[in-house]
Structure 1
Amino acid sequence: MRFFDSKGSGGSCVRATLAVIGAPVEIIEIENQESETQKDWFLAINPRGEVPTLVLDDGSVLTESAATLLCLANMHPEADIAPALSSSAHFQMIRWLNFAAVNLYEGYLRRDFPEHYTTGDPEPVRAATRDHLDRHWEVMNEISSTGPWFMGRQFSVLDIYLWMLVQWEADDEHMRKHFPRIANIAQKVKTLPAIKPVHEYHFGSLT
């Protein structure tokens, strides 16, 4: 496999999942995402010109971080990073992974790149995201298990995805005060031996 990644991007959760699985993969780090991903060589791989992009051994291409996590979990059942296929718990994991992708991932994009969502003043777009993010974090916090992971005893790719989103929030105090279950999950994920180096590459030292 070949994996195209960039610091701070949605590639963090995919790279972390690859690390947990321990699958052989060539990692290509894109330092200037806006420039390099628009070049012809990259557009030939992913016409959207975005990371993360994962090229599987058969040459097929996976994009969209949440979808890629689900594919990796299904490709590597031995890694035990998802509830059993066709189980109710698996369906719920898919449900909440998609909920987070649609409402939280997209919310952080609107916060950080509001100019992409309007032809007018971007500041009202940015300002509106605080309430949007909090409302959807509240849902995730309330529905999550009391622990140790979102799905209860089963560690899953959903926990890895939430870890990434909490790093994008970048306000640990806000998360701990208002969404303690989610903050606790993210704290545990980033200290896992396989994920710690990924965290440090994407988001800096744990200390």
Structure 2
Amino acid sequence: MKLYYLPATCSLAPHIVLNEMGLEASLVKVDHRTHRTDQGEDYLLVNPLGYVPALMLENGTVLREGAAILQYLADLDPVAGLAPANGTLARYRLQEWLNFLATEIHKGFIPLLYAVAAGKYVDTARPKLEQRFAWIDQQLADRDYLMGDGFSIADAYLFALAGWGQAAWLTSYYKADIHFDGLANLEGWYARVSARPAVRRALVAEGLQ
């Protein structure tokens, strides 16, 4: 397998999951300006939409959406416990989280990451995003991770997104500073996930520590 990634983006999530599961995959870095990879490939031939992540399977099939990639990886080894079994209510709860993260958190950050173009819309987008993080904080009041006591692919996705609001170099340039001040449950969750060996290895590999 090949994971096409760009440091400090949502592609960090499948990178973490690969580490958690001990799966072998080549990491291929993409330049978002030129759409060339560090191996000299034209990334638009892999994903015509140009964004990461993309996962190329051994037979050449390409998966291009983060939530689908995360579930595919988790299903390669159900014993790892990163996703409930297909067809169960717990699996639908997981998909509920993934959809929420994609639409309410991931897309919610876009105006902040493109603050100049977004203009005054930032003033609307920021409090809405802060409200969504406050809601997540409430959900974590009685659990260690989003799905309960165990780490899941949803946690990997949220960690990649939450990092956008915590990294000083990113927040100073993109105005994406969304901090967890006063959100003790979310702060605890972020610390727990940050300390996981698989997460630390992914951060180091992508030059984020």
Tell me the TM-score normalized by structure 2: 0.84
What are structure 1's unaligned runs of at least 5 residues? Answer: 116-120
- Two-structure CA RMSD over aligned residues (Å): 2.4
- Cα 1:87–1:176 shift into 2, 3 Å: farther
**2:35 is matched with which residue?**
36
What CA deviation, in whole Å up to 9, does each residue of 1:158-182 have, x standing for no partner?
11111112111117993141x3222
**1:183 is matched with which residue?**
187
- Cα 1:77–1:102 shift into 2, 3 Å: same
What CA deviation, in whole Å up to 9, does each residue of 1:154-204 have, x standing for no partner?
221111111112111117993141x32223222211211122021234473
Say whether the 8 Å CA contact 1:15–1:198 is kept in structure 2.
yes
Say whether the 8 Å CA contact 1:73–1:79 is kept in structure 2.
yes
- The answer to whether residue 162 in structure 2 is matched with residue 166 in structure 1 is yes
Distance 1:201 1:127 in 2: 35
- Cα 1:27–1:152 shift into 2, 3 Å: same
Q: Give the length in aligned residue pairs.
A: 198
Distance 2:102 2:156 in 1: 12
Say whether the 8 Å CA contact 1:144–1:151 is kept in structure 2.
no
Distance 2:152 2:3 in 1: 21
**1:132 is matched with which residue?**
128
Q: Percent identity, aligned pairs only?
A: 24
**1:196 is matched with which residue?**
200
Residue 124 of structure 1 deviates from its aligned partner by 0.9
**2:171 is matched with which residue?**
none
